[in-house]
A and B are shown apart, each in its own frame.
Chain A
Amino acid sequence: MSFEGLPQGSGAKEKSFKESLYLWEVLRGLGVTLRHLVRNIFHTGEMPTMQYPEEKRVYSDRFRGRHRLTKREDGSPRCVACQMCSTVCPADCITIVAAEHPDVEIEKYPDSFEIDLLRCVYCGLCEEACPCDAIRMDTGIYEIAADSREKFVVDKDFLLNNTTDGTR
């Protein structure tokens, strides 16, 4: 088979007679799979499979997991509702409703702070944009599951108590 215009030698290399019979090559292929099979039967423990719920992969400290909102010393959110994160968010998943803070130094606080975890692309731009270190993705939580779409929209209370060890 040859196509005009294609560079020579771009396709499969010329087959020798033995290769063109295929049978020998098929047998060699069967040998390869048999080798794997036998090795794995006698060395089951050496397989790279991870028994997931029991064993978990250790991720780097810089792994971007589920978001959390950090707190001031008095327990109130550090967030000043400046909208930087929701502006920079490429997935448009952060919704902040600002309210006036009694302390004039702080000016604003988030009345509600919602993240749609289904829309989030875990890029980490919100962390970088935040001027107050109020939002972080250092929880290391990657097992994010729920049985309805609504439950993936997490609110301020959830995010404030979303601790590193996975407890809420």
Chain B
Amino acid sequence: MTIVWESLAKIGFMFALIMGMVVVLIWMERKGAAYIQDRTGPNRAAILGIRLAGLVHPVADVFKLLFKEDITPDGRHRALYNLAPWLVMTIALSTYAVVPFGDFLTVAGRQVPLVVADLDVGLLFILAIASLGTYGVVMAGWAANNKFTFLGGVRATAQMISYEINMGLALMGLILVFASLRITDITAGQADLLWGWLPKWGVVVQPLGFILFLVSVFAETNRNPFDLPEGESEIVAGYHLEYSSMKFALFFMAEYAHMVIGAALIATLYFGGYQIPWLPRPALEAHAGTLLTVKLVAVALVSLLIALLFMRRVQREKGKFGDARDREPVLGMGLWLVVAVAAAGALLLKPWAIGPAGASVFASLAQVGAFLVKLVFFAWLFIWVRWTLPRFRYDQLMRLGWKVMLPLGLANLVVTALVVALV
């Protein structure tokens, strides 16, 4: 029974993580896009006058979409039309099963591996499931009985076929280097150091493979500059044109869930996953006391600094709006001061004298934290690239996929195979 509860807890954690990330990513997308384009971005939706720098907007969006009328086109294929958004969302979520978000956590003397399903063919599972996601897109495009959605679906298919090959080829190099299809093995292999100082991350041993994989992941997630299935300037909104209300929201959320899985894959396969560079697990456990103390002091200082920044705003923007919004900087300052005081107060508990059990838990949590930091960074990379690069034309997309990336991928594979065979 324990294993069932463990698995349920891990699934729950992953689901909460993804859904939380979706909300945060929508906020990052809108606010980041605005700041990149010299705009202020969403700053209106508020709960009791507190706007949280626009974080309330995703919540407002959800309520709006839940209560919107679900308009459906007449000539649709009813079953497929209703199935498509759920398929896209389910598939986007199920890929996470094989991604480890930490090494293991010792609970009541048992070592619980922090991955939902440690498949020995994890990479194959990811490739298989990731390409299934396109079925939902094609289904949506065809079932809606609309030329534009159909074109979006067709584009998604051709794009998926072209880039799935490159993704597979890029991963082949990685499989050769780490000699395993199991993702936990690949992550564990990245804890080593090359020549004693360079972390043996996937990006270090497979730089070209990493670039190919990165580009393929962007294409797989249908994100700019590969968002041709949506292509709003050419085919209105592409495959989800005829969807409204919560069904549209599902497509929207699935796109962000795909981004999170893309980021998780990049972090896990090429950037060491949960591994902290130069601090492998034994070192983490051995120096847990010192590290925890340093971390608490750092948290206290940083939150104090943020509180001071808020204090500057309190003084500068006194009575700027003349309503509840004026309380925001005060509350922000209070919140960060509480965090600073809590971190400083935790120092009284003598964290430098932490026991071996505590050290183990600390090491696990630190590794989960490292994974989350990498995850957020690469999710941000998706957004950053979207607001930097324009969309490809379709022939450019195909040329890049077949005439540039495919030969490069093959060459990378051959060279990697030779090196692995000879060394």
Contacts and interface: CB of A to CB of B under 8 A. Distances in A.
Interface of A: 23, 26, 29-30, 32-34, 36-37, 40-41, 44, 47-49, 51, 54
4 closest residue pairs by CB, A with B:
A40-B35, A49-B40, A33-B36, A29-B388
B384 A30 contact: yes
B388 A37 contact: no
A37 B40 contact: no
Given A40-B35, A40-B36, 12 more contacts: A26-B388, A29-B388, A33-B384, A33-B387, A33-B388, A36-B35, A36-B36, A36-B38, A37-B32, A47-B38, A47-B39, A54-B321
Contacts of B387: 33
A18 B37 CA distance: 27
Interface string B214-253: 0000000000000000000000000000000000000000
B417 interface: no
Contacts of B211: 23
22 contacts: A26-B385, A30-B384, A30-B388, A33-B36, A33-B384, A33-B387, A33-B388, A34-B384, A36-B35, A36-B36, A37-B32, A37-B36, A40-B35, A40-B36, A40-B38, A44-B40, A47-B39, A47-B40, A49-B39, A49-B40, A51-B43, A54-B321
A92 to B, nearest CB: 34
Contacts of B35: 36-37, 40-41
Contacts of A30: 384-385, 388
A41 to B, nearest CB: 6
Contacts of B40: 44, 47, 49, 51
B389 interface: yes
A54 B323 CA distance: 12
A111 B108 CA distance: 91
A49 B31 CA distance: 13
A48 B384 CA distance: 21
B358 to A, nearest CB: 37
Contact of B388 (A32, A47, A49, A51): A32
Interface string B31-52: 0100111111001000000000
Nearest to A44: B40
Interface string B9-51: 0000000000000000000000010011111100100000000
A159 to B, nearest CB: 34
Contact of A29 (B39, B321, B389): B389
Query: What's the dominant secondary structure at chain B's contact region?
Result: loop
B37 A26 contact: no
Contacts of A36: 35-38
Contacts of B39: 47, 49
A36 B321 CA distance: 26
Contacts of B38: 36, 40, 47-49
Nearest to B309: A42
A33 B386 CA distance: 10
A125 B389 CA distance: 46
Nearest to B37: A36
Contacts of A44: 40
A64 B371 CA distance: 59
Contacts of A48: 38
Nearest to B53: A44
Contacts of A32: 388
A30 B387 CA distance: 9
A56 to B, nearest CB: 15
A34 B384 CA distance: 8
A15 to B, nearest CB: 14
Contacts of B384: 30, 33-34
A40 B32 CA distance: 10
A142 to B, nearest CB: 21
Most buried by B among A30, A36, A37: A37
A55 to B, nearest CB: 11
A150 B261 CA distance: 52
Most buried by B among A30, A32, A33, A49: A33
A76 to B, nearest CB: 42
B366 to A, nearest CB: 28
A137 B381 CA distance: 51
Contacts of A23: 211
A53 to B, nearest CB: 10
A50 B388 CA distance: 24
A41 B54 CA distance: 14
A47 B37 CA distance: 10
A30 B383 CA distance: 11
Contacts of A54: 321
A129 B211 CA distance: 68
Nearest to A32: B388
A159 B211 CA distance: 66
B305 to A, nearest CB: 13
Nearest to A49: B40
Interface in B370-387: 384-385, 387
Interface in B356-413: 384-385, 387-389
A33 B388 CA distance: 6
Nearest to B32: A37
A26 B390 CA distance: 11
A26 B38 CA distance: 20
Contacts of A49: 38-40
B156 to A, nearest CB: 23
Contacts of A34: 384
